[in-house]
Chain A
């Protein structure tokens, strides 16, 4: 079985400050890791994904994440956030068998001016 833990339910941060959203997972098989963003009243949009290869993954909107197998983590980072980054962020894990995703509880990023 797989599970995902997002340690922070809310992260307030000032505009232009750096941010890290934490994600830890557990799985008994090889994993594929994802970060999705959900803007208010919208569906989920993929930010970035780790399938294999380099452990540092770059995504859209200036976000990046680092896969750490020994710590079973996949933290999301951005060096300088904008007001428009205010949204809910979901970390998810899947095995190869068809992208069935297991989601974390989500982290609400609140960027303040």
Chain B
């Protein structure tokens, strides 16, 4: 498997524009997580899904942020409208927890810059 795939790797957009980040989890994994990494706040969990259903979105900072998982192989994180303080690296991770193997695999991240 190619691992967790995120696109784009880099995104530069103007304030007020809509931004969509994409993630393809590892095949067979039934959990998917979106994290945000900033210098000020470190790594924060934004939202996670189990079997395509959002379980906990308490980390989503504002209504400008939304996430969907229309099927087991694809998820999006959307920011509309974007603001400069949304600049960060956004990571997607997936996992399939069992008694023997509890590990989340991370994508390479999307570096978002809002100017």
Contact = CB atoms under 8 A, between A and B. Distances in A.
Interface in A55-113: 90, 94, 96, 98-106
Interface stretch (B13-21, B69-77, B97-105): B97-105
Contacts of B82: none
Contact of A105 (B42, B48, B108): B42
A44 interface: yes
Contact of A43 (B55, B56, B108): B108
Contacts, number: 56
B50 A98 contact: yes
A100 B102 contact: no
Nearest to A104: B42
A42 interface: yes
Given A49-B102, A106-B42, A99 B97 contact: yes
A36 B108 CA distance: 14
A101 B91 contact: no
Given A44-B91, A106-B42, A98 B106 contact: no
Nearest to B96: A99
